[in-house]
Chains A and B, each alone.
Chain A
Amino acid sequence: NAGVMQNPRHLVRRRGQEARLRCSPMKGHSHVYWYRQLPEEGLKFMVYLQKENIIDESGMPKERFSAEFPKEGPSILRIQQVVRGDSAAYFCASSLAAIGNTGELFFGEGSRLTVL
């Protein structure tokens, strides 16, 4: 029973390149969340998706960042034209139900992005 799988675990990009982070939720989970953890800061909500739908992207920067969760395949967080300030650990989490409905959140091990 695999947990939330994220890849790559580590990604190095130069400024201006694109970063793609992938997340496969736990089996049977249809709710996916992306969080960002900057150094010395807490996890910050970015976006909440259900299959094929973005439910809430209020925590995601309006430019350069996008997320999707297609009917088939993993959820993708895409960062275009990366800048040094994008360097962070990006955590994906999934749940069986919405958190408020006693849906427990399961986290992946994170993808650590370093922008040179």
Chain B
Amino acid sequence: EDKVVQSPLSLVVHEGDTVTLNCSYEVTNFRSLLWYKQEKKAPTFLFMLTSSGIEKKSGRLSSILDKKELFSILNITATQTGDSAIYLCAVDYGGTASKLTFGTGTRLQVTL
């Protein structure tokens, strides 16, 4: 059965800390891995990763994929209270149609 596992389940850090969120997966027909940020409402897209070893960056956020070891990490440097959210990892495993399998997410809380 295809599955995506995220760790830790939740995390509390102080503003300014650096955090690393983990996502491991076991899927057939892997096509891409995506990260989303979910605050109280709609998940918003952060990154899509298709190739190993190529870091994607957006401001203080960065992510990398390891297709050999089947995992990805999401780094957030100099965290701010606005980074508090649930971070979702999802894998597009193709097949006959595009669809994503999501992990349960990592709940990040950044405190002052």
B65 adjacent to chain A (CB < 8 Å)? no
A-B contact pairs, 13 of them (CB 8 A): A42-B88, A42-B105, A43-B90, A48-B99, A56-B99, A91-B42, A95-B98, A98-B98, A99-B100, A100-B94, A107-B42, A107-B43, A107-B44
- Contact present for A48 and B97 (CB under 8 Å): yes
- Contact present for B42 and A43 (CB under 8 Å): no
Near B by CB (< 8 A), chain A positions 60-116 give 91, 95, 98-110
Interface flags for A1-23 (1: CB within 8 Å of B; 0: not) read 00110000000000000000000
Interface flags for B59-96 (1: CB within 8 Å of A; 0: not) read 00000000000000000000000000000101010111
Residues of B near any A CB (own CB < 8 A): 4, 31-32, 34, 36, 41-45, 48, 88, 90, 92, 94-105
Q: Give the A-B contact count at a CB cut-off of 8 A.
A: 71
- Contact present for B92 and A100 (CB under 8 Å): yes
Bound-state CA distance A58–B1 (Å) is 14
- Contact present for B42 and A103 (CB under 8 Å): no
Indicate the member of B42, B90, B102 with the most A CB atoms within 10 Å. B42
**Complex contacts, A104 vs chain B, CB 8 Å:** 45, 48
Indicate the member of A44, A100, A103, A106 with the most B CB atoms within 10 Å. A100
Bound-state CA distance A43–B104 (Å) is 7
- Contact present for B98 and A108 (CB under 8 Å): no
Residue of A nearest to B6 (CB): A42
Interface flags for A37-59 (1: CB within 8 Å of B; 0: not) read 00011111100100000011011
